[in-house]
Amino acid sequence: MKTVLITGCSSGFGLDTARHFLAQGWQVVATMRTPGANVLPPSERLRVLPLDVTDPTSIRAAVEAAGPIDVLVNNAGFGAAAPIELAPLDVVRRLFETNTFGTLAVAQAVLPQMRERRDGVIVNVTSSVTLKSLPLVGAYRASKAAANALTETMALELAPLGVRVHIVLPGRAPETRFGQNARERMTGFAHPAYADYAGKVLGQMMDATGPTTRSKDVAEAVWRAATDASAPLRIPAGADAVAWAAEAA
């Protein structure tokens, strides 16, 4: 029976991905910064562990407790929006610490066992905002684009060692807590130079009508990456992400 370790399982994409792998009969190690309410169905195949992807000690403890890992899903991340001029540098640093360095650090912690076995899969969940230039999310987009660049290089380096690497690119998911949290971190929109424009763009970003991404779409894309050896390096997840990927091709 194979084991998957998933980061950021408290809600949204990570939670539904954990549920999907459980439903398929896998051993699931679901991690989150602060395990709280039981959001996953009880199962002998489920372990819930604390993991802060910005804390090396936390990463090391979680990986050691997990044991052999067949698939790593780097899903933990957060979003924030602001005009570049007004983006607080402390928030920008946190975006990179979580979305970029956190992804890299967890992969580095898991890779030695995969390399030694010459077998394993790493799936990094980034974002479809990396496919096109968009206003207000420049810092977030940069953190995810950096994660993409690292992942692309990992794929080249690890293929000869028997380890597959994939990028899952979700689109807009207005119904998830990720979107709600991102809205809470928005700054600078009251500034007179940006208020009108930012308000219009923000309304478009948060519009739940039209093509969007469901957590289920991301779970299915991660499952494909984990189980289909012929899956491409980049897998868009959600109707809007698929459309953007087609435009960018």
The string of DSSP codes covering 195-245 is HHHHHHHHHHHT--SSS---HHHHHHHHHHHHH-TT--SEEEESHHHHHHH
* Mean pLDDT in order along the chain per 10 residues (249 residues): 96 95 97 83 94 98 98 95 91 97 98 98 97 91 98 98 98 65 56 79 68 92 98 96 90
Q: For the chain, give every domain's residue range.
A: 3-248
pLDDT score, position 180? 54
Question: Model pTM greater than 0.75?
Answer: yes
pLDDT score, position 191? 78
Task: Enumerate the active-site residues.
Answer: 140, 144
CATH class given for the domain over 3-248: alpha beta
pLDDT score, position 211? 82
